Amino acid sequence: MNSKMNSQLTKKQQKAICSQLGNVKLKLLYKASIHGFTGAAFHQHCDNKSPTLSVGYSTTGRVFGGYTRQPFSQSRQFVNDGQAFVFFFSGETLNKYPVTNASRAVKMVRDSGPNFGDTLILVYENTPKVYSNPGSFLAFLFRKSYNFTAEKMNDNDLNLTECEVYQVEERYENPWRTVTWTPEEKEELMEKIKSYKHLKSSSFNARVLLVGPIGAGKTSFFNSFKSVFRGYVTNQGMAGNLSDKSLTTQFWSFTVQLEPEGKPLPLVICDTMGLEADEGAGIHIDDIPNLINGHIPEGYQFNPSVPLKPEAQGFCKNPELKDKIHCVAYVLDASTISIMPQNMERKLKAIRKMVISSRVQQLVLLTKIDEACPLVKEDITNVYKSIYIKELASTRVGVPLSCVVPVKNYNEKVELDMNIDILFLSAIVQILRLLNDFFDEPRG
């Protein structure tokens, strides 16, 4: 807790809140009686901080507020947060109301404090007041963000004696996956990758297909792979996006050579057009089976509206095992998974079913983990101590935890970092293990 400010929450109330959020602690960011009952003061101390807990204290002694994983800003837009909730205390007992319309969970406004879906607003219009416009049993019809009664929430008292905003910080426990962060470990991992060979793939390199939304880091993943083995940051693949559209529009496969004219590593990274939530945009999901089964030629220009047909020119009719995909890696941005559009989730679910039916191994590469978790941003080696990253991995992506691997791409740094390298190499080794599973399986 900030030593210059004292929390008005009792220890029992703090414990009750924290028990709902996992192994966390509260750091006081904003206290209206000190910083001012204004939107400007609130934003000065709380913008770009997440997750947060906002608490109001009424003149009748009621304690209430809301929680969101999304950082506050002044964009004047509603923000999606399926994990948001509002609450009030009856003495030391916590009463929680989960969000009922996640797309309007939080609204970013300039002239007020925390705004939970235009349903509960603290420091309303730069005053020590609360705005309360709860839902009812008709909340769903009227698209209310939360369903509670004003009488229970704040005793119909709209006057505030205090408003506090806390950042919710994770406490560390034993790592949920063990990694050795040493130069020796890095060298050992590199040797495992260099020497990889399976009997069925001894005459060709295993092929890994990257699938994911635009901007998640598919091309950056290949660039990072190459960077680690070249010893400096490279940018062979054109990473990024243009106006929220995929920069990659063709099918390309990449190999990594240890030296410019040297022997290639035993992996081929296959890059695709990015997925988009809208229909008729991004890679057509029916092209995924075409890719897996080796029907799409190198350099093919994807058509978001129509997948490649068997009768089309360029369709590879009789691909061999070496032409097919042997592992699919979903590249997902950890900082945006919680606000992923429903249609994107549906597309990913449909693709996972296609991959399963093709008997191809799959895993998830969680990128931008430092943007998702402040404690990981402080030190990348905290990644497997982060309960938040673990929850993202185990509950949001639809594959077993053992098949979820956090990574950090080299999309900002210009020099290599040993810990980032080790995290990245560990992900590649996990891919190799899945490739062994693929090649071990009898295939007709």
What pLDDT is recorded for position 197?
86
What pLDDT is recorded for position 296?
93
Query: Stretch 389-412: mean pLDDT, rounded?
Result: 80
Residue 389 has pLDDT above 60, yes or no: yes
Mean pLDDT, the chain, integer: 87
Query: Stretch 88-93: mean pLDDT, rounded?
Result: 86
Query: Stretch 114-124: mean pLDDT, rounded?
Result: 94
Residue 100 has pLDDT above 70, yes or no: yes
Q: How many CB atoms lie within 10 A of CB 294?
A: 18
Q: Is the omega angle on the peptide bond into residue 264 within 30 degrees of 0, that is, cis?
A: no
pLDDT in tens, 23-36: 788 999 999 999 99
The structure's pTM equals 0.68
What pLDDT is recorded for position 20?
74
Instruction: Judge contact between 310 and 289, C-beta under 8 A.
Output: no
Cβ neighbourhood burial of 93 (10 Å; 0-12, 13-18, 19+): exposed
The architecture that CATH gives domain 183-440 is: 3-Layer(aba) Sandwich (3.40)
Q: Which of 16-25, 76-85, 303-312, 319-328 has the lowest mean pLDDT?
A: 16-25
Confidence of residue 136 (pLDDT cuts 50, 70, 90): very low
pLDDT in tens, 146-202: 887 766 676 777 899 999 999 998 776 678 889 999 999 999 999 999 999 887 777
Domain ranges of the chain: 11-170, 183-440
Phi, psi for 236 (deg, rounded to 5): -65, -50
Q: How do strand 404-406 and strand 361-367 relate by DSSP bridges?
A: parallel
Helix axes 183-194, 418-440, angle to 10 degrees: 30
- Structure tokens belonging to residue 358: 């093709």
* 218 vs 283: CA distance, rounded Å: 13
Query: Stretch 35-48: mean pLDDT, rounded?
Result: 96
What pLDDT is recorded for position 26?
93
* 300 vs 290: CA distance, rounded Å: 12
Q: Identify which has the larger pLDDT, 424 or 261.
A: 424
Q: Identify which has the larger pLDDT, 192 or 135.
A: 192
